[in-house]
A and B are shown apart, each in its own frame.
Chain A
Amino acid sequence: MTTDYLEDLLRSLDPGFNDPAQANLTHEDEVWLIVTRSLEEARPRRRVHRYELVGSVGTAVTATAVLIATLGGTTTSALAATLHAAASADSHAARLPRLAAGKFYYQDSQVSLTCNVTSPSMPAGDAPITYIANGTMQSWTTVGGAGKVVLTPSRINGNGSHFATAEDEARWVAAGEPFIPCALINQSNQLGGNPANADHDGSLGGYSSTVSGYGGFGLSLAMTSETTLLSSATSINDLPSSPAAISSLLANGQINPNGSVSVSPQACPIQDESTSASVGCTPSEQLEVMEQLIQLPDASAKLGSALYQVLANLPGATLLGPVTTEGVAGAAVSVPQGDNEAFEVVLNSTTGALISCSELLTQNGVTSSIATVTYGSVQVVDGSGSTPASASNS
């Protein structure tokens, strides 16, 4: 691929926003009003000082250390004790099976996404069509963390995928069955839907549609089957096993979403307005990294007990009462994301194995899943791409 072509492709990714409605270009006068109101007030802007941020992060780390210490003590709540038991069990009962030379760990997980779809063929002002897309996520990894993750979305209404309501499906049909970005349409693993949505020369042509509500977990279950290669050079192998040490690195921005550890902050440096200094990650940024770490194929078994404790002690984390997922008793940790979203992890109370991760959205008092990954047990297979004769949930 030539440099010119690469650069052309990069430019093609630009959303552009030349459409005034998309780019809010029509808001010029409205924004000017906001600006001028602020100018009249003429209040000096509060500057963010570096020491304040360092203090905040330091406080978070200290609080984390204290909480981690109390998790193992006798003063913890019953729920914290349950979590701690699950986390402790993880390091004993749910550790990875031994792996002979040439063998791979294999995990088969189920992914479910809620997609809200609109298309130009729908009547103007219509609410998005809601579609629940199920897919599979398979991982093959070596002891060192190398391997691959394969995401496979399902065809329309396949593998339990479905429209939220019969009305949603009827509206989709009435709109000419527009493309649903988080579902495959045909068996050849190709972008599909109404053929009018794509040009015959293979480009997107005049197609336009949006889906919102999912982009998390570092995974994109959309359009086509997708393979992500894992490298042992960027795995969790360098992470310390102590929750306090992980918390410290995490707060300092040294832990990257792929689990690798950087000498200096890389993951989410906070830029001070006045100095552009890098001072680490905010709690919400730490949560974002933790989401990725926990879901790495080998993380639960290798570092689960430590990671769960770090997660449980992020600001706002709540330990939820015994939950049952597909007949398996679990303990759950929920951490808020912004005002109306939460990340929830469910652990097997007996083995500590990761049962599921969810992103939840609360609107008008109703909480629903945006995305959920339900993990199967880790098994040993002969090679990358091989599957065991049967797979069962832990």
Chain B
Amino acid sequence: MKRRHPRQIRQDEELRRRFEEFYRQHFAALSRYVSRRLPPESHDEVVAAAFVIAWKKFSDVDSPTLPWLYRIASFEVSNERRRLGREPRMVALWDISPTDKSPLADIFDISSAYAQLSEGDREVLRLIFWEDLERTEAAEVLGCSVNTLNVRVHRALERLRGAIARVDAGSRSSHHVEPKEE
């Protein structure tokens, strides 16, 4: 059996210590990230899988960051969604912040509009407005340039505005919408 040099052991232990520190520092954020995207029963497995991948890449990264961890987790979330067969089938009122004081009608409108966006648009918006990442960080998660990210955010917001307008028009005049004849 090959024996490790004591210096190697010390380096491994130091790496392990740094990784546990990294884990303790970012568990809560990653836990929320996963909880926002998957049903509760997937949480532990997916969070653990993301950290295991992170560990395997840990020594290759100069300064592991939360966006770097999110990017790893994004693949695990995708894998889990495929394993589940679809996105989680939940309608949950706690999707709306119970402390929110915005008018109910506006919350319903934006909730309906948000649901009409593509998964790509929703993910961009989630990273910016829920994970509260800087544009550079969100770009790192998505593996794109900041310019591309900015364009994606702009377009997602425009599509959200369009969807809100349609929802709003529909709810205000559910019997008076007259689409043009083709």
Q: Which residues of A contact B (CB under 8 A)?
A: 1, 3, 6-17, 22-25, 27-28, 30-32, 34-35, 38-39, 44-45, 101-102, 142-148, 150, 179, 181-182, 191, 198, 201-216, 220, 222-232, 256, 266, 268, 270-271, 273, 276, 282, 284-285, 287-288, 336-338, 341, 359, 370, 383-385
List of A residues within 8 angstroms of B74 by Cβ: 271
Tell whether, in the assembled complex, residue A23 and residue B35 are in contact, meaning their CB atoms are under 8 Å apart: yes
A-B contact pairs, 7 of them (CB 8 A): A9-B110, A142-B182, A202-B104, A203-B102, A212-B91, A229-B177, A384-B177
Tell whether, in the assembled complex, residue A102 and residue B47 are in contact, meaning their CB atoms are under 8 Å apart: no
Query: Does B7 touch A at the CB level, under 8 Å?
Result: no
How far apart sit A39 and B12, CA to CA, in the bound complex (Å)? 12
A-B contact count (CB 8 A): 237
What's the minimum C-beta distance from A34 to chain B, rounded to whole angstroms? 4
How far apart sit A237 and B103, CA to CA, in the bound complex (Å)? 38
Tell whether, in the assembled complex, residue B84 and residue A210 are in contact, meaning their CB atoms are under 8 Å apart: no
Tell whether, in the assembled complex, residue B161 and residue A1 are in contact, meaning their CB atoms are under 8 Å apart: yes
What's the minimum C-beta distance from A285 to chain B, rounded to whole angstroms? 7
How far apart sit A24 and B95, CA to CA, in the bound complex (Å)? 16
Q: How many residues of B contact A (CB 8 A)?
A: 81
Tell whether, in the assembled complex, residue A338 and residue B182 are in contact, meaning their CB atoms are under 8 Å apart: no
Tell whether, in the assembled complex, residue B103 and residue A39 are in contact, meaning their CB atoms are under 8 Å apart: no
How far apart sit A21 and B6, CA to CA, in the bound complex (Å)? 43
Tell whether, in the assembled complex, residue B106 and residue A9 are in contact, meaning their CB atoms are under 8 Å apart: yes
Tell whether, in the assembled complex, residue A182 and residue B102 are in contact, meaning their CB atoms are under 8 Å apart: no
List of B residues within 8 angstroms of A208 by Cβ: 93-94, 98
Q: Which residues of B contact A (CB under 8 A)?
A: 16, 20, 23-24, 27-28, 31-32, 35-36, 40, 43-45, 47-48, 51-53, 55-56, 74-75, 78, 82-98, 100-108, 110-112, 114-116, 118-120, 125, 129-130, 143, 157, 160-161, 164, 166-167, 169-171, 174-182
Chain B residue with the shortest CB-CB distance to A102: B181
Tell whether, in the assembled complex, residue A15 and residue B47 are in contact, meaning their CB atoms are under 8 Å apart: no
What's the minimum C-beta distance from A350 to chain B, rounded to whole angstroms? 30
How far apart sit A8 and B115, CA to CA, in the bound complex (Å)? 17
